[in-house]
Amino acid sequence: MSAEIIDGKAFAAKLRRDVADQVARLKADHQLKPGLAVVLVGDDPASQVYVRSKGKMTVEVGMNSFEHRLDPSIKETELLALIEGLNADPKVHGILVQLPLPDHLDEDLVINAIDPAKDVDGFHILNVGLLGTGQKAMVPCTPLGCLMMLRNHHGSLSGMNAVVIGRSNIVGKPMAQLLLGDSCTVTIAHSRTRDLPDVVRRADIVVAAVGRAEMVPGDWIKPGATVIDVGINRVDAPEKGEGKTRLVGDCHFESCAAVAGAITPVPGGVGPMTIACLLANTLTACCRANGLPEPADLTA
Ligand code: NDP
């Protein structure tokens, strides 16, 4: 293996410490305590795990955590009324509605009901537009975490060829906007892209956000390129025992690491950065809401 491993776990731990320091300063200097409200509809096991760890880490950095666990049969009007209440609550600086929502709820309608200033996931249409036009926005957490790791590794990204595989609103598209904002030459690839291996081979930076286990092999990677693997896929792991599973990314780690200059592992790469960036966004939202300077290095 030749690639440097980009340790997202360590990077995220440092980011959370930085956030905690700034939260302590906000309390001491301004008697302010940032608050994050997380809304979970239903009992999806994966979402429950995410929400639990979000709540735990929110409290660990010194913020208020407000959890709203709602019955899966909740009416849309009731959910919208809850969001309206959170929008008006001065103790709440960030609001996150855990996705996916049950089918009878209109996700776009619900997300766009959040006050854009409290939309710490960066999914509100106004924040999407602000990011797309290079204005100050709330930036989606996963791509923000990827950008922070890339900047930390490379310094300037200006002029680099970046290929983002995946065009979702949550990862692929905002990732591409952020890389463009840092003056990369950006290609967005997707399921209809012709000759994907050739497209990826041109990239100095590859961000894989597909959701297909180990889809990108090492011979797609340009020697020395930086590989950011967003994918989280659970696969069978008979070597660990019957019925056991393990997590893998969208890139085949061993073969990509043999060629790349740097790579994020799965687990321990992009994943931990997502919650750390959520906390950073909540802190930023609190500062903006109170007319205070934004903490440096925590935003795009
Ligand atoms: P989506 O399913 O919303 O999007 C997947 C994208 O991959 C689509 O744009 C799709 O193209 C594209 N795609 C599918 N098959 C291919 C293919 N064969 N070749 C090229 N492109 C393809 O996924 P998300 O963006 O939400 O998530 C992507 C991955 O990232 C998942 O594994 C998810 O679990 C993980 N993830 C990790 C996070 C973290 O914190 N680390 C946070 C969010 C997601 P098309 O549009 O044409 O269908």
From 47, 54, 168, give the residue whose CB has the most ligand 1 atoms within 8 Å, as the site to mutate.
168
pLDDT band, very low/low/confident/very high, at 295 (cuts 50, 70, 90) = confident
CATH of domain 30-116: 3.40.50.10860
Q: Is 297's pLDDT higher than 90?
A: no
Could you give the percent of the chain with pLDDT greater than 70? 100
Cβ of 212 below 6 Å from ligand 1: yes
Q: Express each pLDDT in 26-76 by its tens digit.
A: 999 999 999 999 999 998 988 999 999 999 999 999 999 999 999 999 999
CA-based nearest residue to 3, from 265, 279, 231:
265
Q: Where in the chain is the domain with CATH 3.40.50.10860?
A: 30-116
Cβ of 234 below 6 Å from ligand 1: no
Q: Compute the mean pLDDT over every residue in the chain, rounded to the nearest whole number.
A: 97
CA–CA dist 73, 65 (Å, integer): 24
Q: Express each pLDDT in 143-185 by its tens digit.
A: 999 999 999 999 999 999 999 999 999 999 999 999 999 999 9
Closest residue to atom 8 of ligand 1, CA basis: 166
CA–CA dist 99, 111 (Å, integer): 10
Tell me what pLDDT residue 58 has. 98
Q: Is 93's pLDDT higher than 90?
A: yes
The 3-state DSSP class for residue 83 equals helix
**Average pLDDT of span 263-269:** 98
Q: Where in the chain is the domain with CATH 3.40.50.720?
A: 141-272
Q: Read off the DSSP letter of residue 221.
A: S
Among 18, 22, 118, 121, the one annotated catalytic: 121
Ligand 1 centroid from CA 170, angstroms? 9
pLDDT band, very low/low/confident/very high, at 238 (cuts 50, 70, 90) = very high
Instruction: State pTM to two decimals.
Output: 0.97
pLDDT band, very low/low/confident/very high, at 1 (cuts 50, 70, 90) = low
Tell me what pLDDT residue 298 has. 82
CA-based nearest residue to 70, from 93, 53, 47:
47
Cβ of 190 below 6 Å from ligand 1: yes
Length reported for the chain: 300
Tell me what pLDDT residue 257 has. 98
Closest residue to atom 39 of ligand 1, CA basis: 271
Interhelix angle 8-30/45-60, nearest 10 degrees: 50
121 tagged catalytic: yes
CATH class of the 141-272 domain in this structure? alpha beta
Helices and strands (H and E) in the chain: how many: 10, 11
Closest residue to atom 17 of ligand 1, CA basis: 191
The 3-state DSSP class for residue 41 equals strand
